[in-house]
Structures are given as structure tokens and as C-alpha cells.
Amino acid sequence: MPYRLFLVLIGVCAAAVAVAADEQHLLRLSFRPASSNQASKSAEPLVLSACRGVGKFESECISTLQSASKSQKTDANGLAFFALKYVEDHAANLTMDIAKAGTIPNLDPMFQAALSECMDQYTPLGDLIEDAINAVLANAYGDAKTFIDATISNIDVCDTKLRSSSNSHGKTAPDVQLAANMNGYNCFLKSLLSAANNVINSPSKSH
């Protein structure tokens, strides 16, 4: 085999590997909603109350909060802490995936800009959630709600940019899929933040 052809083939293989790696980033961002409400049948009353009315991911909210420890599922502060830590951990992972997705070649410029905006909005979430957690532990529920609402607002900005990018004429199938995955994940995380708000805003809590 001629040496030049050999180098070309190596380049093709390397490109294929890079594309496969990009696909992994897309897959990691994918989110599959639950198909039933089975979790609600055995869920703790506090979990059901927290997740009631949080939106289309109510079932996922219930199954997620139901995975908390027994002591957390029966204590408002404990359940709010669990929900907030869950969002904090997953937001950190999503931030890394957004950064990786932004390096995928040939992304639509509008979608690239949306990813950049999402990075800007997700980067401070860790500090906001930590402030919310500290406020909950100090029984400062009004402050906690302020920080939680700010977190939701940041995620909303990301969602708005993603939806705007979907109107771009240059979008591709991977762009559309990644945007849909991120919108779903954003909605799921917001449902857990809303659940935390529901817990700390229950009538038994003083502000």
C-alpha cells in the first residue's frame, strides 16, 4: 500500500473515531422519561406532596426523591437537601457535557451560541444551589426560595436560547437531537427544584 494512501486511511479512521466520540456526548445528554406512575403507589406522602404539580416530569420527580433515605423522605429539610444536592451533582455533569458538545465540528452557529449561553447560565448554578442548601439548613426558607428561583431562572434562559436555535435554517439532525435532550434534562432538573420549593413553602414551614 502506498505510504500516502496509508496516511489518508489513518486520517479517515481518526475522523470516524472522533465522530463516534461526539455521538457519545449526545447519548450521555439523552434523557428518557418514565413510562408509568408506579413509583407513586409506594411513595412517601412528603415525596408526593413535593412533586405534585411540578410538570410533565412529575413521575420522574417522585421516583427520584423516593430514592432518598427514609429519614430524608419524612423530613422536609432532609428532602429539600436531597433534591438540591441531586440537581447540583447533575448540573455539574451537564455543564461538562455542554462544554464537550460545544467542540463538536460543524455545529450550526446559532446552536453553538445557544450552547455558549447555556454554559454561562449553568456555571454559577453550583454556588446558587449551595446557597439554597445553606439557607434550608439554617431554616431561612425565604432566602432558600430566592436562590432556588434564581437557579430555575438561569435554566430557563438556557432553554429559551435552545428553542430559538431550533429555528435556524442551518440546524442538523444531531443539533436538533442534542437540543431536545438538553431541553428534557433542563425540564427534569427544574421539576426537582420546584419540588424543593414546594417542600420549603409547605404550611408547616415558617419564613
Q: Which amino acid is at 129?
A: I
Res. 10 pLDDT band, cuts 50 70 90? very low
Mean pLDDT of 102-109: 84
Res. 108 pLDDT band, cuts 50 70 90? confident
All three cell numbers of 81, joined, read: 437537601
The residue among 107 and 206 whose pLDDT is bigger is: 107
CA dist 58 and 24 (Å) reads: 28
Grid look-up 427514609 returns 70
Residue 84 lies in a domain: yes
Residue 205 lies in a domain: no
Residue 101 lies in a domain: yes
Residue 98 lies in a domain: yes
Residue 22 lies in a domain: yes
Mean pLDDT of 147-156: 98
Quote the domain boundaries for residue 51: 3-200
Per residue in 28-75, pLDDT (tens digit) is 555 555 555 555 678 899 999 999 999 989 999 999 999 999 999 999
| Residue 7 in this model has a pLDDT that exceeds 70 | no
